[in-house]
Structure 1
Amino acid sequence: MTETRSHGTTSVSSTERRLMAKMALLNNIDHPDLKVITRFGAAYGDSVNQAAVYPTEFSELQREYPIFFRKDEEGAFYCVILLGLDKGENLFLDGARWQARYVPAIHQRGPFMIGFQNQEVDGEVRREPVIHVDLENPRVSKTEGEPLFLAHGGNAPYLQHISQVLRVITVGADMTAPMFAAFEQAGLIEPVSLDVKLDDHTEYKVPDLFTLNEEKLAALEGEALQQLHRGGFLRAAYLVLASLGNVNRLINMKNAKRAAGG
């Protein structure tokens, strides 16, 4: 008898939407000794079978993970990658290590978020991005991890890296709605039924996913094609389609885990 399992979808948008418990504006005066634990694990929210991602990281993501779309509670599309098949399963997580050439920005950013603050620049008040840190996040420490500031007060390499990660998220979040508007205008988005069969007895059904219609994309011409290209979304569309071959990689990883008794 074949055992059919639900994918057991973990809410991937909850990480982005949750209200951080104790946010603080990061600076080297209040937080000179702050460190961040950079290893991965369930304790840090990494044991999930999907992760929210952004168009700004498609180029790196498509080499490792299958990229799909989902709808949030308001019906707006967002991007996800599949990391596992069972609930709470991240096949790329090996102990404290993430076994991939690229880790999704959401899982790289740790306890940090971008906020905005009015600052006077050249006599003009501007809304400038600033980094906030969740001081109650389990990654935050004063005894272990990567330092955020150098001894003389400058930004440490890790904090410089985090600044780039937050930029990927912020710019990518701004791109997401226009990208999906362009895909919808071109009639490219379609629901997909992902049925993963591991053997004669076990299969998974991954619900509520969307992808792009490859034939419709290839048939685009004239103004419709130019609009997609001008918006910078034509390349994004091809990267999404190129990523789908990674479903087979995911299946192979799952089978290897089962063979090892996992």
Structure 2
Amino acid sequence: MSNPPMYGELLPLDREVHKNLKLDTEQAVVSRVADQNSVFLAAVEFADACKEYPIVFVRAGSAGEDNKPAVAPLAVLGLRAGSNLFIDGDKWTGSYVPAYVRRYPFAMARLDGSETSLAVCYDHKWPAFNDTTGEALFKDGEPTEFLLNAKAFLENFEQEAERTRLICNLLVDMDLLQDMRFEATLPNGEKFDVEGFLALDEKKYAELADDKVLQLHRNGLIGLIEMHRLSLTNMNRLVSKYAA
């Protein structure tokens, strides 16, 4: 089982093995994302995220049979690798916290050897898990309401992630994304580039045939594309935060 960014080591929850396991929810989880300069963002989050974070796309995984690579959207949180500009101590300073962060320290993951079955897992490296203090995960051999709520959140996250994957596939099929780079100069004269991401190809988007525009509209992508375009203005805000 691979461990996604932010997680130490995922283990599947077991009602017998973890019958006494508790989670101290008072421990802030933002320390786990302090060194992440971007996180996955589901399409349903664009409306909230575009107000604060640049939303870009990155290649995610190898090309399929049609030789088209998979892509995924990210919320950009910092301009340097290992730097999150929205963390101050143990506080998240942004108004919107991406669902990828909010689901921690739980996640749904495929067990080794399984192609379809997803299990509720927890990051057993997170010290907030213990046998004495916090929210119990099981009671009398059954999941508690706390764990059931966490499971419902994870299931919704996975559903939205799949919907996002299909949306991104359509953008790739229409060849609407292109490699981009962002250049900035700080007040002290320091210059740096942010590259390795994809953004809307404005020329191809403007030249789309009417039937393709209708297809985007019926799939709800026109609004998402506009949110993506709007969000890119937040790159300059990140520069200001970085300079400060």
> Shorter-normalised TM-score: what interval?
0.7 to 0.9
Residue 204 of structure 1 is matched in structure 2 by 192
TM-score (norm 1): 0.73
Contact 2:46 2:227 in 1 (8 A): yes
Q: 1:29 to 1:115 in 2, by over 3 A?
A: same
Matches of 1:91 and 1:61, distance apart in 2: 15
1:86-134 Cα offsets, whole Å, 9 max, x none, are 22111100100111122122222223122579xxxxxxxxx77552223
Q: Alignment length, in residue pairs?
A: 232
Partner residue in 1 for 2:219: 231
Which deviations, in whole Å up to 9, do the C-alpha atoms of 1:176-232 show, x marking residues without a partner? Answer: 332222113333211111112212521221121111134544554532122222223
Alignment of 1:1-262 (within 5 A): 16=4, 21=9, 23-25=11-13, 27=15, 30-37=18-25, 38-42=27-31, 44-72=32-60, 74=62, 75-115=69-109, 130-144=119-133, 146-148=135-137, 155-157=144-146, 160=149, 162-199=150-187, 201-214=189-202, 216-217=204-205, 220=208, 222-256=210-244
- Distance in 2 separating the partners of 1:202 and 1:145: 47
- Partners of 1:62 and 1:231 in 2: how far apart? 19
For 2:215 and 2:87, locate their aligned partners in 1 and report how far apart those are by CA, in whole Å: 39
Q: 1:159 to 1:248 in 2, by over 3 A?
A: farther
CA contact (8 A) 1:36 1:147 kept: no
What letter corresponds to residue 187 of structure 1 in structure 2? D
CA distance in 1, matches of 2:152, 2:47: 16
**Identity of counterpart residues, as a percentage?**
25
Listed as ranges, the gaps of 5+ residues in structure 1 are: 1-13, 118-126, 257-262
TM-score by length of 2: 0.77
Cα distance in 2, alignment partners of residues 92 and 20 from structure 1: 21
Shift of 1:61: 1.4
User: Are the aligned partners of 2:7 and 2:123 in contact in 1 as well (CA < 8 Å)?
Assistant: no
Contact 1:57 1:168 in 2 (8 A): no
> Could you say what secondary structure the match of 1:65 adopts?
coil
User: Is there any run of 5+ residues in structure 2 with no aligned partner, and where?
Assistant: 63-68
149 and 248 in structure 1: CA distance in 2 versus 1, 3 angstrom threshold: farther
Q: Determine helix, strand or coil for the equivalent of 1:16.
A: coil
